[in-house]
Structure 1
Amino acid sequence: MRLFKKILIPILFILLAFSIFLIFSYFLNRDTGKGALQVTSVPKSKVYLDGKLIGDAPLCKCEYPNMVDVGEHDIRLVPEEAGLDPFEEKITISPSVLTVVDRTFGTGALSEGSVITLNKIADKNDAQILVISFPDKVQVSLDNNLLGITPLALKNQTESDHEIKLTKEGYKDKVIRIRAIKGYRLDATVFLSTGQSSSPSAQPTSVPTPTSAVKVTQVIISETPTGFLRVRDSGSLAGAEIGQVTPGEKYDLLNEENGWYQIKLKDGKTGWISSEYATKEQ
């Protein structure tokens, strides 16, 4: 009997440990029926999902259990600044996939933005891209190669980072950066704004005068939670990071637009920073 107990007790411990492992694996790998949602906007906005306020942009419902239920939802962004038009759109949340909504608010047709998500496809070795635009019939370039007009479906793309540029006469150029993934189709719905083209050839140039050389407005970088401030290539959170600046540093202010400052960096390049973390001075 004593020998039987010596054998039985270790076996019970092994079975118990194995049962705990199976339960843990089940909960870790089960389909949660949820997906992630990230929302950015300039200026800040209230975010409503299916008529319910879920927070302020920038917002990321990216960790379980705070992620969003899978399926189709109505999203509405209401800018905090008066006089700007809200944004409404239907979005689809897929299991364990991030959907990204970005909006730069303006009045009427001066607003722009994008909705980007991933959808599983049958071919796990194919990476696809679908580009839809408002308005339609917009020229689409992928990595500086003109490929067609919207709506445009692309198959057999390399699994890597890509740059999509949309251009149409009478509308501002729009550039978005995406990553194609095998086994998924990346859907990009892009909203163009009317106004001056953002291409370098269309930008006005100015000749410095003695007066402007003497009186230059500068910005002082304020304290930030991270100890630095990101510099982007456009006045939007969707813009690519091209550098960083440090609290206390001063830079020449070149332009101001929708809560963003365009500054001249020490190496001569220009970039955009959030006006929330910078103060103007003469």
Structure 2
Amino acid sequence: MSRLYVFVKLTALVRKVRIFGLIFIGGGFIVALAFFLIGILKPKTAGVFIDTNPASAVFINGLQVGRTPYRDNKQKTGEVVIKLIPESFEIPLVPFETKLNLVNGIETVIRREFGETDEFSSGEIISFEKLSKSEISLVVISNPDSAQLIIDGQTKAFTPYKAGTITPGEHTISISSKDYVDKTIKVKTQQGYKLTAIINLQKSRNIATPTPTPEIEKKTLVEILDTPVGFLRVRAEPSTLGEEVGQVKPNEEYVLVEEDEKTGWYKIELVPAKDGGEAKAGWISNQYAKKIEQGSDDTSPTPSVFKTPTPSVKPTVVN
């Protein structure tokens, strides 16, 4: 009788243990299923960090969400349009607008230095793309393209550039291009992700432009020839009747100011103008002078038709 009683008690205990075990297993399954469903139903979020100089208003998909520096790690994933309007009270600066594809669990970084135009602005966009856990990659794109690229002090040819193998961690990227301001940034690559750096260079304001060589104005000179009296009179009018205002000597050269069409006489510059004053000039007979180009080695007289001088009141040599 006692054995039967013990058997019944043990059987009842086993049943209770089985029931509690089933309840425990079922409860664990339900909890696991709940966490799984929460993970699926929980909205995916991405992050964005924006920093500018000077500070700017931040618009995402047309709505103003704040001002820089700005960080939001609860953005919906997918494509968004980001517009930055600089706060400038001195000179007008050009706004910046771009489209981004925000990835779940990833923070995209935008930095911008505003200028009066796009070409005088600079900045970078750093974004990530998920790869397999064993992969890691770095892509560098520049504007302008074909820029000289240096990563961690080592030249890597030109942009655009893709590094198929690179160690995870911090790296220094330097970009340079002719007529643009050099730019250096730091990025941090991570295992299982492709990091893309889009870098915009600022146009240099100190571009050396070739100065056109000024054309040297060639002046016509007049060389004084030998005269019977050893000098040539300079007169106020193109005539022997004109008042004498000076004398010049053979082999001397003077700048030709004018040539009289009727008599052929030359008006020469006796004394150059000084301190804004007027030059002193006078007329000489073309019979005892010849025209030459400044800098010319040709000493042959310029052919000219000798014209009969105005009758002189003195029976002397015309000079």
What TM-score do you get using the length of structure 1 for normalisation? Answer: 0.60
User: Per the alignment, in what secondary structure is the counterpart of residue 46 of structure 2?
Assistant: strand
CA distance in 1, matches of 2:127, 2:153: 22
Pick from 104, 107, 117 the counterpart of residue 98 of structure 1: 107
1:27 is aligned with what amino acid? I
User: Per the alignment, in what secondary structure is the counterpart of residue 33 of structure 2?
Assistant: helix
User: Per the alignment, in what secondary structure is the counterpart of residue 24 of structure 1?
Assistant: helix
Matched, 1:186 2:204: no
CA distance in 1, matches of 2:17, 2:138: 62
The Cα of 1:9 is off from its aligned counterpart by 5.9
What's the C-alpha RMSD, in Å, of the aligned pairs?
2.6
The Cα of 1:72 is off from its aligned counterpart by 2.0
Match of 1:213 in 2: none
More strand by proportion, 1 or 2? Answer: 1
2:105 is aligned with what amino acid? S
CA distance in 2, matches of 1:31, 1:155: 34
Matched, 1:71 2:78: yes
CA distance in 2, matches of 1:147, 1:78: 35
The Cα of 1:193 is off from its aligned counterpart by 1.0
CA distance in 1, matches of 2:36, 2:55: 40
CA distance in 2, matches of 1:6, 1:142: 66
Please say if residues 126 and 157 of structure 1, whose CA atoms lie closer than 8 Å, have aligned partners that are also in contact: no
Please say if residues 131 and 190 of structure 1, whose CA atoms lie closer than 8 Å, have aligned partners that are also in contact: yes
Match of 1:247 in 2: none
Q: Write out per-residue CA displacement over residues 76-99 of structure 1, whole angstroms, 9 at most, x where no aligned residue.
A: 011122422111111111222111
Please say if residues 50 and 73 of structure 1, whose CA atoms lie closer than 8 Å, have aligned partners that are also in contact: yes
CA distance in 2, matches of 1:158, 1:112: 28
User: Per the alignment, in what secondary structure is the counterpart of residue 81 of structure 2?
Assistant: strand
Match of 2:126 in 1: 116
User: Per the alignment, in what secondary structure is the counterpart of residue 190 of structure 1?
Assistant: strand
Q: How does 1:246-265 map to 2 (within 5 A)?
A: none
The Cα of 1:6 is off from its aligned counterpart by 7.8
Please say if residues 31 and 95 of structure 1, whose CA atoms lie closer than 8 Å, have aligned partners that are also in contact: no
Q: 1:31 to 1:173 in 2, by over 3 A?
A: farther
Match of 2:56 in 1: 45
Pick from 129, 133, 137 the counterpart of residue 142 of structure 2: 133
Q: Write out per-residue CA displacement over residues 81-136 of structure 1, whole angstroms, 9 at most, x where no aligned residue.
A: 24221111111112221111111222213321111101123x54232111111111
User: Per the alignment, in what secondary structure is the counterpart of residue 38 of structure 2?
Assistant: helix
Q: 1:184 to 1:6 in 2, by over 3 A?
A: closer
Q: Write out per-residue CA displacement over residues 243-282 of structure 1, whole angstroms, 9 at most, x where no aligned residue.
A: xxxxxxxxxxxxxxxxxxxxxxxxxxxxxxxxxxxxxxxx
Q: Give the aligned length.
A: 192
CA distance in 2, matches of 1:73, 1:116: 15
Q: How does 1:186-265 map to 2 (within 5 A)?
A: 186-195=195-204
CA distance in 1, matches of 2:163, 2:79: 24
CA distance in 2, matches of 1:166, 1:58: 25
CA distance in 1, matches of 2:32, 2:164: 41
Matched, 1:57 2:64: no
The Cα of 1:146 is off from its aligned counterpart by 0.9
Please say if residues 32 and 95 of structure 1, whose CA atoms lie closer than 8 Å, have aligned partners that are also in contact: no
Match of 2:157 in 1: 148
Please say if residues 142 and 165 of structure 1, whose CA atoms lie closer than 8 Å, have aligned partners that are also in contact: yes
Pick from 30, 36, 41 the counterpart of residue 19 of structure 1: 30
User: Per the alignment, in what secondary structure is the counterpart of residue 166 of structure 2?
Assistant: coil
